[in-house]
Structure 1
Amino acid sequence: MADGQNRLVQVSDLRLNVTEWGGADNPPLILLHGLASSSHMFDLVAPELAADYHVIAFDQRGHGLSDKPTTGYDFETVASDLDKLVEVLGLADKPFHLAGHSWGASTALYYAATRPERVQKVILIDGGLRPVTEGFKSVEEMAPPQHQNWPIADVKHMIREDWFGWAYRPELEALALSIYDLSNPNDVQPYLKLAQHMQIAQALWDFRAADYFSRVHAPVLAVLGIERGETPSASLQEYVAAAQTSLKQFEVFWMPETIHDIPWHRPHELVTIMRNFLES
């Protein structure tokens, strides 16, 4: 993590793996990763943002090097984790910017709606608006593939061919591997266990962003990726229109020719977009 200060932070009965960039006197910007990901999602954007912001990214409960309790993966408990973290970091009386990717975007929106006084601006990176029910027939379909005796060579092949495909760059491999426990190279497993994964999947299945729009006071930016050769679906455009109608201040930036993991695929452009919004 370039220039980041990494440590385990005790947050009530939970230890969270936290990395900070930039000066503590800078405006705080907290970054929330997605389901089955890790704080490494922001390795390529945080150092650039650190010139002007106190950037904070952490492995959410169950993920990465943070503790992995068996329960507590609903939105309110996850939001409470963030409450406790900002208190430990000395930010309890200091409103902050909040950005999230994928599930992290949904969490950011939930947090901004339920704690409006704490959030200055919100950035939703390819998530947070459209219900997952649009892409899956059941919550069971959201289960990740299960592997036994999965050798690291096969994991790397999957990352190269299936995960990134046309967007692959060699430096992305190590970032993608960060979501896995590599202690046994002949049996690689994700840090997030299946039972916890499915608790988050259920929370996402039940989540409707529109239920929270009226309670969000902060300006919101959605950065939405468009896969190569595709156009935004009619349903996604409908949810964007609903956000434009219901949120007090809402902007959308469509990023063509990108994959879901925008912070890895298009980090420099994402930083520019984020800066323009945060500084406006």
Structure 2
Amino acid sequence: MKKMKVNIEGLDVCIYEWGSQRNPTVLLLHGLTNNALGFNEIADRLQDHFHLFAIDLPGHGETQPFNEEKNYSFQFLTEWLEKVRFELSNQPVYLIGHSWGAALALHFSSRFSEMVNGVVMIDGGYLLFEEDPSITLEEFLKQMSQWITESYYSTIEEYEKKKKEEIGRWSHELEQMVHRDMKEVVGGVAMKVSGNTVRAIGKSLYLESCRDVFHQVQAPIFLIRATLPEDGETIRRQAAARMQEELGTHCKVSAIPETGHVLHWQRPEETIKKIKQWLEEKVNEKIYTQAPE
């Protein structure tokens, strides 16, 4: 694993790199309040076959936030990500995104289809706000603010304990990730990402539905979804089926039993196996279709 900084229009973007330039390039996009090392375990296992870059997205990890709320819109953020991609690779890439990162990957694919070979969406980009009209934008942003306000802990060990309970397992890689999520404040630790950043991203997720861009997506899509909590399973099944119907035959969906929203941390072996198999299938298909007759 190698750490680097890339300057994009005055913003220093922190990126971690694994693997060889000889292999297909994969960009890794983390979820809201997380950071690039959320993909540490996945990248470590894929680095013999792929050239991987995990990006600290704006306002997360060691990448500073945007100055304006509007820059977190998918309209702007996809253009920003294309500039990052251009710095890292002169060829089309594969994308793996979790949660917000999955939604970003899908929006990017809809706008820059010629630069995308395929997208893996880890439990994100398919559950849509319009399916629950009872949640208003104002109420949603209030919930987001409360989430950040309540994310204060007296020690980093206290936060570690919470994450261990949420994930159900622990590793050195998860510990590294968790420490990069937090910052020291008076009396303890708090989320590194600001309330303004979280609300700006929440607003874009609410107002810019992934469903609105399904018809523009041409790259193959692989959704790996959660199955817990059980009372949300009917909605998850319906949403995944609807996405698959709208995207067509190039969309695959797989559910991992007994997993929640952070399934790639809860069941890394199974998640990595599914991702590796799908990526290798797509690489082989691309080689086959480009081979001379």
Tell me the TM-score normalised to structure 2 length: 0.85
C-alpha distance 207-237 of structure 1, shift in aligned 2 (>3 A)? farther
| TM-score normalised by the chain length of structure 1 | 0.89
Aligned residues: 270
Q: Distance in 2 between matches of 1:157 and 1:132?
A: 31
Partner of 2:291: none
Question: More helix per residue: 1 or 2?
Answer: 2
* Equivalent residue in structure 2 for 1:179, among 167, 178, 181: 181
CA contact 1:29–1:98 (8 Å) conserved in 2 = yes
2:36 pairs with 1:53: no
Identify the residue that residue 79 of structure 1 maps to in structure 2.
78
Alignment deviations for residues 44-88 of structure 1 (CA, whole Å, 9 cap, x no partner): 110111111101101000101012223221112221221111222
Provide the residue aligned with 1:26 in structure 2.
Answer: 23
Query: Residue 6 of structure 2 corresponds to which residue in structure 1?
Result: 9
Q: Which amino acid aligns with 2:163?
A: I
What SS is found at the alignment partner of 2:164?
helix
Aligned to 2:235: 235
Describe the shift of the 1:232–1:8 C-alpha distance in structure 2 as closer, same or farther (beyond 3 A): same
8 Å contact kept, 1:70–1:196: no
Asked if the contact 1:79–1:111 (Cα under 8 Å) also holds between the matched residues in 2, the reply is yes
Superposition pairs of residues 60-99 of structure 1, within 5 angstroms: 60-71=57-68, 72-89=71-88, 91-92=89-90, 94-99=91-96
C-alpha RMSD over aligned residues: 2.1
Closer, same or farther: CA 95–170 of 1 in aligned 2, 3 Å: closer
Q: 1:255 to 1:155 in 2, by over 3 A?
A: same
Residue 169 of structure 1 deviates from its aligned partner by 2.5
1:151 corresponding residue in structure 2: 154
Match of 2:38 in 1: 41
Of residues 120-129 and 187-196 in structure 1, the stretch that sits farther from structure 2 once superposed is 187-196
Separation of aligned partners in 1, 2:148 and 2:10: 31
CA distance in 1, matches of 2:43, 2:264: 10
Contact 2:148 2:194 in 1 (8 A): no
In structure 2, runs of 5+ residues without a counterpart are 282-293
Question: What's the CA shift string for 1:5-48, capped at 9, x where partnerless?
Answer: 10111112211110110001210011100011101110111011
Provide the residue aligned with 1:205 in structure 2.
206
Q: Output the CA distance in 2 between the equivalents of 1:52 and 1:111.
A: 24
Shift of 1:223: 0.1
* SS of residue paired to 1:279: helix
Q: Following the alignment from structure 1 to structure 2, what is the Cα–Cα distance between the partners of residues 99 and 148?
A: 27
Whether the aligned pair in 2 keeps the contact of 1:148 and 1:187 (CA below 8 Å) is no
| Corresponding residue to 2:108 among 108, 111, 118 | 111
Inter-partner Cα distance in structure 2 for 1:63 and 1:148: 15
Instruction: Provide, for residues 133-165 of structure 1, a one-character-per-residue CA deviation record: whole Å limited to 9, x for no partner.
Output: 65783322233241597421432343334x33x
Q: Distance in 2 between matches of 1:54 and 1:13?
A: 26
Amino acid across the alignment from 1:203: S
1:141 is matched with 143
Give the % identical residues. Answer: 26
Task: Give the match's secondary structure for 2:41.
Answer: coil
In the alignment, the residues of structure 1 paired with residue 205 and residue 81 of structure 2 have an alpha-carbon distance, to the nearest angstrom, of 18
Partner SS state of residue 43, structure 1:
helix
Moved more, 26-35 or 78-87: 78-87
Distance 2:122 2:25 in 1: 18
Q: Distance in 2 between matches of 1:185 and 1:56?
A: 34
